[in-house]
Amino acid sequence: MTTASNQVALFSTEELDELFGEYKSFRRIAIGVSGGADSMALLYLLKQWTQELGFAAPELYAFTVNHGLRAEAASEAVGVAQYCTRIEVPHETLLWEGDKPSSNIQSAARDARHRLLRQASEDHGCDALFLAHHLEDQAETFLTRLARGSGVYGLACIRRDREMDGFHICRPLLNISKARLKAVLHSAHVPWFEDPSNEDEQFTRIKFRQAQSELDELGLTATKLFDTARRMARAADAIDVWVDEVAEKSCTFHSAGPVRFDSSCLEYIPDEIGLRLVGRLVRYISGAPYMPRLAKLEGLYETLKSEEGARAATLGGVRFALAKPHEDGIWFCFREAGRAGLPEVEVKPGDEGIWDERWRYKAAHSSEGFRITYVQKELCGDFELEIPANWLKTAFLTAPLIVFADGVSYMPWKKIGQTAADAEVRSRTYGISMVPVSRTF
């Protein structure tokens, strides 16, 4: 670990309140702590803040993810645990197990880290997960996305707060420089680890980091890039207000997941609004955390807007299909099974989790297991769904289906056949629930 002498005064009470004051209502906060300077500073500052708040402060839990990619990772996790013991913050090390990809390793590691951190946070009853992204992280994200040709939403970069299915992801240090965070650690004699991969030039983000000094000379400082991202976020929020209004008139959402979309709205709204609307449809139906890349989204958008285009299109695991001649402009948008099909999960009594990134299941006090699959897989399309008028039957083939051990099937969103009553009673008796992960469009 690295230590140094005092260089700067610690954050004042006023500064701490400015950083964390809006989070006072949280009962329990999880912190992702890698052992690097950024996350150790976040841990230290949150501890200082909660100590000043006293008995009314949220509880803190620290989690470290060992990706198993570096030999030093295990000892670093031990070092974080020792520091947490010293400041009396509960700590747990999470392991990324299983095979590791041979390419795009940073992205895969990031996704695994976020998944493990969120699961551990929810398991411990935390209201939010705090991450230590700082000013330079925001600047590097802006440059990386600019190089990819991102639009308004991509250049809005990292948001300070994000709410997903009632759970909060918070990044309160986005306007604080790494130099300031290191100075705080120096001043407080808090140790940290240096990760050598942060200097590996094979990663695009590192190249931008190392080029920042040259950009500073041109006036493209990290602070100015952060300000631009903040303004882009403000513009994105304004666009979303308009998108919400259009979606209310043009989209009909079914409880099973599919959406009926009247594309005639695309004739009179600006393309930026239409692109955002279509992108949000893809994200909503697929359960993906982010929208598709702008270039791919633009291709789908042109298809939906064209008067003589294709009758079907797919993007991000979502199928767009016309049920009638194209002049009607009605598209049915639904989850596509794809070549590999959708996941099938064997659920044991007491289990809970997420199916296909879209539905949260729980067997609260079940005395028997069941299987979660999807309509097309189990019933081979030979079923009666009592499809509502003006809906496409195919759009319901990837809706979830609960199958009990004795073969009784139950759709949590629709009764099915003569066994419906038996299945519904059984699901209530054993405390089986299955609800959408999030209905926020």
Cα distance between residue 36 and residue 195, in whole Å: 7
Residue 151, annotated as binding a ligand = no
Residue 39, annotated as binding a ligand = yes
Contact 365, 426 (CB under 8 A): no
Contact 7, 183 (CB under 8 A): yes
Q: Is 185 left (phi over 0), alpha (psi -120 to 50) or beta?
A: alpha
**DSSP per residue, 429-440:** HTTEEEEES---
CA separation (Å) from 111 to 67, 114, 241, 289? 11, 5, 29, 11
Residue 438, annotated as binding a ligand = no
Residue 431, annotated as binding a ligand = no
Cα distance between residue 337 and residue 399, in whole Å: 10
Beta-strand pair 251-253/318-322: unpaired
Nearest by Cα to 373 from 335, 403, 404: 403
Quick one: which H or E segment has residue 80? helix 73-87
Q: Quick check: helix, strand or coil at residue 36?
A: coil
Query: CA 349: distance to chain centroid?
Result: 28
Q: How many CB atoms lie under 10 A from the CB of residue 338? A: 11
- Please report, to the nearest 10 degrees, the dihedral formed by the alpha carbons of residues 341, 347, 352, 353 taken in order: -10
Contact 412, 341 (CB under 8 A): no
For the chain, state the CA radius of gyration: 25
Q: Is 171 left (phi over 0), alpha (psi -120 to 50) or beta?
A: beta
Residue 183, annotated as binding a ligand = no
Residue 107, annotated as binding a ligand = no
Contact 352, 362 (CB under 8 A): yes
DSSP state of 390: T
Query: Binding-site residues, please?
Result: 34-39
Query: Binding-site residues for ATP, please?
Result: 34-39
